[in-house]
Amino acid sequence: MTGKRIAVWVAPLLALLALAVEPVAAQTSLNEELIRGLNIKLLYVAIPITILVELILVYTVYRFAKSDEAKPTQENRRLEITWTVATAIILLFVGFASYQVLGVSAIGGVTAATNPDAGPAATTLEYEGAIGPNPGENAVQVEVVAQKYFWVFNYPNEVVNGNESRYVSTQETMVIPANRTVYLHVTSKDWLHAVHVPDLGLKQDAFPGKYNTIKTVVYKQGTYQLYCAEYCGVGHSGMLGKVKVVSQEEYQTWLDEQKQSMQEE
């Protein structure tokens, strides 16, 4: 067997082995965990099919490379039935696996699911579409407001001196606790924007006059880059923000500091 033939057979096997032995990295959030898990399932289907097709192609090239004339193919009902059934099974698996992930509120969006038990959403604008957490869920609610060309993060439940018109609000950096459910009520005050935090698997459009609620649980503390993923004008490239994930204790301390500073104003 020539060196080229060996390479043709060994390369796909090495690729499959590399996938099998790749260490599982710690996921940063529930959203990323679900998305990465789906991608791995699809790879387990796609890689064997790719290898099979390539091997058939290589075999055909070598087998008929010296054929003088091409002969017409003959009907083979068993083969046709086999690949039709196999394709149907593969598509069913892909559809079922995808539906399992897309149906989760953290991926499909809370607004994509009917939840009659949801409580009131903590928002400051009279827009429709926001979905609140279930009673007793003990979730953090953050209102994410996009505006040319910056981000505002409101915490309507965190009022100052019992005055509902005064609440904790920040720009550019959103602070949330780790290992706790967070609802993000995303909206816009002017035109289309989109909040996107790639490292956390978060992405949602910001529509003017409407809320889109997304849900997450972040496992890993740290600071993550936030982008606007919808071209929104000349300042689009500079419409950046950060998501700072801290412990519950640090989060509560930060809230107290924000309230104290607002009281002194």
Mean pLDDT value of segment 151-170? 89
- The edge-to-edge listing of strands for the beta sheet with 163-171 is 163-171, 150-160, 140-147, 181-188, 212-217
Tell me: do 257 and 140 sit in the same domain.
Answer: yes
Comparing 235 with 22, the larger pLDDT belongs to 235
Tell me: do 85 and 154 sit in the same domain.
Answer: no
**Amino acid occupying residue 40:** I
Q: How many domains does the chain have?
A: 2
Tell me: do 143 and 219 sit in the same domain.
Answer: yes
Residue 21 has pLDDT above 50, yes or no: no
pLDDT band at 100 (very low <50, low <70, confident <90, very high): confident
pLDDT of residue 170: 93
Tell me: do 122 and 235 sit in the same domain.
Answer: yes
Comparing 49 with 117, the larger pLDDT belongs to 49
Tell me: do 259 and 134 sit in the same domain.
Answer: yes
Tell me: do 85 and 123 sit in the same domain.
Answer: no
pLDDT band at 69 (very low <50, low <70, confident <90, very high): confident
For the record, the structure tokens of 131 come out as 């979905």
pLDDT band at 73 (very low <50, low <70, confident <90, very high): confident
CB 142 within 8 A of CB 130: no
Task: Provide the residue range defining the domain that includes 140.
Answer: 117-264
pLDDT of residue 22: 47
Which pLDDT tens digit goes with each residue over 214-257? 999 999 999 999 999 999 999 999 999 999 999 999 999 999 99
Residue 131 has pLDDT above 70, yes or no: yes
pLDDT of residue 111: 67
HEC profile for the chain? Answer: CCHHHHHHHHHHHHHHHHHHHCCCCCCCEHHHHHHHHHHHHHHHHHHHHHHHHHHHHHHHHHHCCCCCCCCCCCCCHHHHHHHHHHHHHHHHHHHHHHHHHHCCHHHHCHHHCCCCCCCCCCCCCCCECCCCCCCCCCCEEEEEEEECCEEEEEEEEEEECCEEEEEEEEECEEEEECCCEEEEEEEECCCCEEEEEHHHCEEEEECECECEEEEEEECCCEEEEEEECCCCCCCHHHCEEEEEEECHHHHHHHHHHHHHHHHHC
Residue 112 inside a domain? The answer is no
Residue 147 inside a domain? The answer is yes
Tell me: do 155 and 97 sit in the same domain.
Answer: no
pLDDT of residue 13: 52
Residue 109 inside a domain? The answer is no
Tell me: do 162 and 132 sit in the same domain.
Answer: yes
Bridge partners of 202? Answer: 197
pLDDT band at 108 (very low <50, low <70, confident <90, very high): confident
The pLDDT > 90 percentage for the chain reads: 51
Give the rounded distance of the alpha carbon of 176 from its chain centre.
18
Mean pLDDT value of segment 87-105? 88
- The CATH number that applies at residue 257 is 2.60.40.420
Tell me: do 240 and 149 sit in the same domain.
Answer: yes
Residue 72 inside a domain? The answer is no
Tell me: do 18 and 142 sit in the same domain.
Answer: no
Mean pLDDT value of segment 144-150? 94
Tell me: do 95 and 197 sit in the same domain.
Answer: no
Residue 211 inside a domain? The answer is yes
Tell me: do 214 and 254 sit in the same domain.
Answer: yes
